[in-house]
Chains A and B, each alone.
Chain A
Amino acid sequence: MEPNSGNSIEAIDESSLKIGAQIIVDTLLEQGVETMFGYPGGVVLPLFDRLYDAPIRFINPRHEQGGCHMADGYARASGKVGVVVATSGPGACNLTTGLATAMMDSVPIVALTGQVRTELIGNDAFQEADTTGITRPVTKYNCIVKRVEDLARTIREAFYIASTGRPGPVLVDLPVDVQVAKCRHDGSKQMDLPGYRVRTKGNARQISIAAAAINSSEQPVLYVGGGVISANASEELRQLTEKAHLPVTTTLLGLGSFDQRKPESLDMLGMHGAAYANYAVQECDLLIAVGARFDDRVTAKLKTFASNAKIIHIDIDPASISKNVRVDIPVVGDAKLILAELLERVEFRERKPWFKKIADWKKKYPFSYDRQAATIKPQYVIEELCRQTASEATITTGVGQNQMWTAQFYRFIKPRQLISSGGLGTMGFGLPAAIGAQVAMPDATVIDIDGDSSFNMTMTELATAVQYNLPIKVCILNNGYMGMVRQWQELFYNKRYSHSFLTNPDYATVARAIGTVGITVDKKADVPGAIKEMLAQKQPCVVDFKIEREENVWPMVPAGKSLDEMDGLDMLESLA
């Protein structure tokens, strides 16, 4: 079978023909790609050869999962599409965790994978895997390109699908023979997506109804998710809350969409959210959800969630609406456009009793911990980081307690500042995501606040940071436990700490062995100095904080309980 344009080929002047791999690179450039992440292998060598002298910055991770998280961190930090390349079989399989992470958090990624020659597909060829089959449930869209003539259009479509609507990862599988086949690349920019439509403009009538509901509400709450950040709608959100006078709580991924220093901020809600946010949501008469999806970590017991409230849901994804919670006033479209239109129609309302009630809850149940303790409390480390970086750093996290403490104790003030795996909860995300973010923002302070076990999963990527001299900072909140697992075992499994601790290496030594700076902190008094030293580094730096080993995250809504049935409030109250 002739994979290229067939009989006519001899008639065409050879010089007007390009090989598939060159067409791929040309299309990446056409799409504005400046940076990509990836790992080579047999069937992507034609593409790598064309990348050799392409004007694209290329970062080699140590593992394709790391590469995919880097592309993810790059995308979340910059708002651009992250691009990752891997070879067939094992390379493609290693991408899956990264793709699923990006899928759950709606992050635009284009993944390019090599594939065995088209005529070998289905024969269990060397390094063959059914990549489109494996990745279908963890991508927004994927496809395999079997004709070189379809390459440019398909890659263009991949970028369009990844970055529009509800963003997400798109994978294009590229058999090696297609990469070397030739065709004429005419530079036309067409796409062919009859089934893909994005509704951006909200329905005007629905917006009026929503505005009227806001104007007549005595006890409203805005509940904001990552959608506001991906829609670049933080400014519209700020204006809306000021004009209509609304309190704002965010999800984990929504942190940064609203300046947490403002009095209207209720901080994060949910299982480990602020008591005052959870109470406000449970007692509100109007819940205005924007770019959020009523995840079970947010709603707790669905039946009793915001049960007195009318619900407005603004989201670009029609399938998100009324999926978990019945919605009274749906508005489908782009949050930026819809919030701007709402802004025109809302009126200021004082809502004194409501804000008074919220202020009382805030006073009574702030996030807190034992500041007098002699040990290093993880919350203290984060507060100190926040202080020394003046709330300006870009923060990535691992998963577990470290992630929740970061959400509770760092004060986020601008969008794209927190980069964390929310939906999938992928341990090992923090370090590679920090690397991706640093690549996107070479001058920013990028700090991975990580757990010891999370860091263990992808710490090999420290070598990537060293190789490319990316001055990321890693703060390991080292409790010697899979802390969040231990917390659940303490609370719900009689303190039977079944396989929830590991023998960790000495991280400072590891950092030095990899060729960079490592610091160990085991005294509380050394915390500020160590952070200062870390922040002064112009190279990657790992700080191993030996924190209080059995500290827990409070408050906590236990599984199956309502959002306002939080444990740990007595403690917060006593420490307030």
Chain B
Amino acid sequence: MKHIISALVENKPGVLAHVAGMFAARAFNIDSLAVGRTEDPKLSRMTIVVVGDDKVLEQVRKQLAKIVPVVKVQDFAGQPVVARDLMLIAISAPAEKRPEILSLIEMFKGKVVDIGQKLVMVEVSGPEEKIEAFIDVCKPYGIKNVVRTGTIAMPRQAKTEPD
């Protein structure tokens, strides 16, 4: 099962290497890893998507917490969270296909961020399944390039998604 783990870490050199090295050394599988600053300049947030059974995940949490510069570890499994990926995708878009592609982009609430002779670059964000679905619908047109951030997540207050 996939778990989203959120780790608050000290903003120090070597922390990312330590976390990544621990995952490799203990043969844990990382699906994605996103790192960014927080409102506190001394802390960063790592959001790690890990695949494994309960026993593996228990170890992941404990081993992460054991790393000295890791300040706090949360596992969002079983909690209502907002989880989002951001993707930039370049799709080949010859003039005759453009209206079709643009309507798809609109359906997915994507944003065209660059248009060239042959390609459009689109920014899409949302839950992972939405991102995957958008990739699928774009495949027939030809995908030139995909760049994704990996999941970031935050627990939600309300029980259900507003949209």
Seen from chain A, the residues whose Cβ lies within 8 Å of a Cβ on chain B are 132-133, 136-137, 140-144, 161, 193-196, 317-319, 321-323
- Determine whether the beta carbon of A194 is less than 8 Å from that of B14: no
Interface string of B15-28 (1 = CB under 8 A from A): 00110011001000
- Determine whether the beta carbon of A323 is less than 8 Å from that of B13: no
Q: Which of B17, B55, B71 contacts A195 (CB 8 A)?
A: B71
Q: Assess A143 versus B9: contact at CB under 8 Å? Given A136-B21, A195-B70, A317-B66.
A: no
- Determine whether the beta carbon of B69 is less than 8 Å from that of A195: yes
- Determine whether the beta carbon of B68 is less than 8 Å from that of A322: no
- Determine whether the beta carbon of A136 is less than 8 Å from that of B18: yes
A194 neighbours in B (Cβ, 8 Å): 10, 42, 71
Q: Assess A318 versus B59: contact at CB under 8 Å? Given A137-B21, A194-B10, A195-B10.
A: no
Can you report 29 A-B residue pairs in the complex whose CB atoms are below 8 A from each other? A132-B14, A136-B17, A136-B18, A136-B21, A137-B25, A141-B68, A142-B14, A143-B12, A143-B14, A144-B13, A144-B14, A161-B68, A193-B68, A194-B10, A194-B42, A194-B71, A195-B9, A195-B67, A195-B70, A195-B71, A195-B72, A317-B66, A318-B62, A318-B65, A318-B66, A319-B63, A319-B65, A319-B66, A322-B55
Shortest distance between the CB of A276 and any CB in chain B (Å): 32
B55 neighbours in A (Cβ, 8 Å): 322
Shortest distance between the CB of B26 and any CB in chain A (Å): 10
Bound: A39/B62 CA distance, A: 37
Bound: A390/B109 CA distance, A: 82
Q: Which of B112-135 contact A (CB under 8 A)?
A: none
A-B pairs, 7 with minimum CB distance: A319-B62, A195-B71, A141-B68, A194-B71, A195-B69, A195-B70, A196-B68
B31 within 8 Å of A by Cβ?
no
A195 neighbours in B (Cβ, 8 Å): 9-10, 67-72
B18 neighbours in A (Cβ, 8 Å): 136
Chain A contact surface mostly: mixed
Name the residue of chain A whose CB is nearest to the CB of B10.
A195
Max chain A C-beta neighbours (<10 A), residue from B10, B17, B42, B68: B68
- Determine whether the beta carbon of A136 is less than 8 Å from that of B10: no
Bound: A144/B59 CA distance, A: 28
A132 neighbours in B (Cβ, 8 Å): 14
Q: Assess A322 versus B14: contact at CB under 8 Å? Given A137-B25, A161-B68, A194-B71.
A: no
A193 neighbours in B (Cβ, 8 Å): 68
Q: Assess A323 versus B65: contact at CB under 8 Å? Given A133-B17, A136-B18, A137-B21.
A: no
Shortest distance between the CB of B25 and any CB in chain A (Å): 5
Given contacts A161-B68, A195-B10, 7 further A-B contacts (CB under 8 A): A137-B21, A193-B68, A195-B9, A195-B72, A318-B65, A319-B59, A322-B58
Name the residue of chain A whose CB is nearest to the CB of B68.
A141
Shortest distance between the CB of A170 and any CB in chain B (Å): 9
Bound: A133/B14 CA distance, A: 8
Bound: A322/B18 CA distance, A: 23
Max chain B C-beta neighbours (<10 A), residue from A136, A143, A319, A321: A319
Shortest distance between the CB of A168 and any CB in chain B (Å): 10
Max chain B C-beta neighbours (<10 A), residue from A193, A195, A323: A195
Bound: A318/B66 CA distance, A: 8
Q: Which of B1-46 contact A (CB under 8 A)?
A: 9-10, 12-14, 17-18, 21-22, 25, 42
B68 neighbours in A (Cβ, 8 Å): 140-141, 161, 193, 195-196
Shortest distance between the CB of B107 and any CB in chain A (Å): 44
Bound: A161/B66 CA distance, A: 11
B62 neighbours in A (Cβ, 8 Å): 318-319, 321
Bound: A428/B44 CA distance, A: 42
Bound: A208/B95 CA distance, A: 75
Shortest distance between the CB of A134 and any CB in chain B (Å): 11
Bound: A194/B11 CA distance, A: 11
Name the residue of chain A whose CB is nearest to the CB of B63.
A319
A136 neighbours in B (Cβ, 8 Å): 14, 17-18, 21
Name the residue of chain B whose CB is nearest to the CB of A165.
B66
Bound: A471/B49 CA distance, A: 56
Shortest distance between the CB of B44 and any CB in chain A (Å): 12
Bound: A141/B68 CA distance, A: 7
Shortest distance between the CB of A328 and any CB in chain B (Å): 15
Q: Which of B42-90 contact A (CB under 8 A)?
A: 42, 55, 58-59, 62-63, 65-72
A137 neighbours in B (Cβ, 8 Å): 21-22, 25
